Amino acid sequence: MQTWLGVACACWHLPPGQLPENISLEEATVERELVFLGMAGIMDPPRPEVAQAISVAMQAGIRVIIMTGDAAQTALNVASACWSGCQKVRLRVSR
């Protein structure tokens, strides 16, 4: 399974450099009447040398920890891409 980061872009359809006088930048209203510009997907796989580095560290008795701000499934995907022993990975999610 691959993990992608999706980013969507939108803007107001206004003359350049001009905001309407009644514009509200409050969270509840700022995302109204936007024009969808597009969407991009980004995949940032681990570098090829990461698997070897993790293997060497584990053989040296170092406990390897992956810390990420991503979702739990993303962390598991990164672990499985990095080393074959990922079935031994314990996942702890902190909020």
Instruction: Give the pLDDT of the chain (95 residues) as one tens digit per residue.
Output: 556 677 888 887 777 777 777 777 787 777 877 888 898 887 777 888 888 888 888 889 888 877 777 777 777 777 777 776 555 656 666 66
Given this model, what pLDDT does residue 84 score? 63
Which has the closest alpha carbon to 68: 1, 21, 3?
3
- Report the pLDDT value the prediction gives residue 94, as an integer from 0 to 100: 67
pTM: 0.47
CA angle 86, 46, 50 (to 5 degrees): 70
Query: How high is the pLDDT of residue 14?
Result: 79
In the numeric block, the tokens 């691959």 are attached to: 2
DSSP state of 47: P
